[in-house]
Amino acid sequence: MFGLGRLPKLLLFAVAVLGVTAIAHAQGEAETAPGNKAWMMVSSALVLLMTPGLAFFYGGLVRRKNVLSVLMQCFMCMCLMTILWVILGYSLAFGDDALGGVIGNMKYFMLNGTLYGDDALFMIFQGMFAIITPALILGAYAERMKFGGFCLFSGLWLLFVYCPVCHWVWGGSEEGFFALGGDGALDFAGGTVVHINAGIGALVAAVVLGRRQGYPERTSPPHNLPFAVLGAGMLWVGWFGFNAGSAGEANDSAINAFVVTQVAAAMAGFGWAAIEWIRGGKPTVLGIITGAVAGLVAITPASGSVNAIGALGVGLGAAIFCYIFVQLKEKFGYDDSLDVFGVHGIGGIWGALAAGLWATAAVPGNDTNGLFNGNPGQILIQIKAVVYTIVWSGVVSFILLKIVDATVGIRATDQDERVGLDLTDHAETAYTILD
């Protein structure tokens, strides 16, 4: 038995232990924030890596006389879109509702109130998405758009096409006609905002600019397929930041997004190669990397709501549907040089719909089921998000292309196209043969 005289000492000891425990717990909580910040900085860097990856992917697929023009356009997106995002784009995407929710207001103009800390980290992570989305479109008009026209169109497209759709899905209020996020649309990392948006803009650009000279009779194979493989590999690695980073922190939701990203890409790459093998007797390198990218596109909107088993279905569907639309391109008569619509447009549409099929509330951070888990209404919500994006991107992209064409012009001259845009736009050549 303890004597009463020792009671104050025991109470003091207990208070001390509780205090140390509370301090340790508080320190543990404080340590989680830097870990999340580190993950988001890494994710931001991974998403940025995707644009040089895209440069190699696209650059390897065009003719050698145009490879530098593609690389230049991708790097110009890294520069120009960053500047526009800092000055105005971030505010248009994530400011308070303006014009009935069509777009954000000027709340964050020149990064007002978001220059430091967590706000700055979120801004720059989202800025990496704003960089690559206009860059995706350039694959549709590769080898035939003037560089000046490219710069003006891409900058306007960011502000008037990308920013509004981003605001509808991620940045605006949950009320109003355009509040797709408030409707419960599932777009974890950019199926509508990035891929459908870019894919439709690419289709419109390909139609407005017209075909390349000699298409389809005199089209050339990729001039450097290893470049394209390198680019696809960089895209695959960067996509983990794209999808898992969209969880906003290093948590179980990010783990799930990481896992399903790998599974869907692998299934789609395998599926595309298998289709080629069955139909033509030989699987191709170009086919497997195209399939893998299609799988990455399709899982993007669903990466926060489907599990690994659902990702198998998402990836297989991406291989099948994207393959079909790439093959149909010539029958429809439009010249989408590097199949941006067939891969990103169709892949994004399928991915958005697939989220409504395989979504499960068992996924950490997700509370929505899809059709296969007893909630058929989710499909209608996904269809609405897809239709809104298609209409907005198609109409506004067409208007912007016509404005740019009427001011600075968009189509390279016949002579410039024959010589190649590397020389005519940039006075450089990618390959020099020495005697």
| Domain-located, residue 181 | yes
Cis geometry, peptide bond prior to residue 216 (ω within 30 degrees of 0): yes
Is 30 part of any domain? no
Q: Could you list the pLDDT tens digit for every one of the 435 residues in the chain?
A: 344 455 445 444 444 433 433 433 444 444 447 899 999 999 999 999 999 999 999 999 999 999 999 999 999 999 999 999 999 999 999 999 999 999 999 999 999 999 999 999 999 999 999 999 999 999 999 999 999 999 999 999 999 999 999 999 999 888 877 889 888 999 999 999 999 999 999 999 999 999 999 888 877 889 999 999 999 999 999 999 999 999 999 999 999 999 999 999 999 999 999 999 999 999 999 999 999 999 999 999 999 999 999 999 999 999 999 999 999 998 898 999 999 999 999 999 999 999 999 999 999 999 999 999 999 999 999 999 999 999 999 999 999 999 999 999 999 999 999 999 999 999 999 998 654
Helices (H) and strands (E) in the chain, counts: 17, 2
381 domain-assigned: yes
| Residue 5 maps to a domain | no
What is the pLDDT at residue 299? 98
Residue 245 in contact with residue 126, Cβ under 8 Å? no
Q: Is 411 helix (H, G, I), strand (E, B) or coil?
A: strand
Cα four-point dihedral sign 205, 240, 379, 185: negative
Range of the domain at 399: 45-426
Does a structural domain hold residue 294?
Answer: yes
Domain-embedded: residue 53: yes
Q: What is the number of structural domains in the chain?
A: 1
Query: What pLDDT score was predicted for residue 290?
Result: 98
Within-domain flag for 389: yes
Q: What's the CA gap between 240 and 72, in Å, rounded? A: 25
- Report yes or no: 163 and 104 within 8 Å, Cβ to Cβ: yes
> Which residue has 């025991």 as its token pair?
10
CA angle 151, 425, 88 (to 5 degrees): 15
Please give the Cα distance from 273 to 221 (Å, whole number).
18
CATH number at residue 194: 1.10.3430.10
Report the pLDDT value the prediction gives residue 424, as an integer from 0 to 100: 97
The answer to whether position 7 is within a domain reads no
Residue 244 buriedness (CB in 10 A; 0-12 / 13-18 / 19+): buried
Q: Which two tokens stand for residue 344?
A: 């990103």
* CA 270 – CA 120 distance, rounded (Å): 39
User: Does the predicted TM-score (pTM) go above 0.85?
Assistant: yes
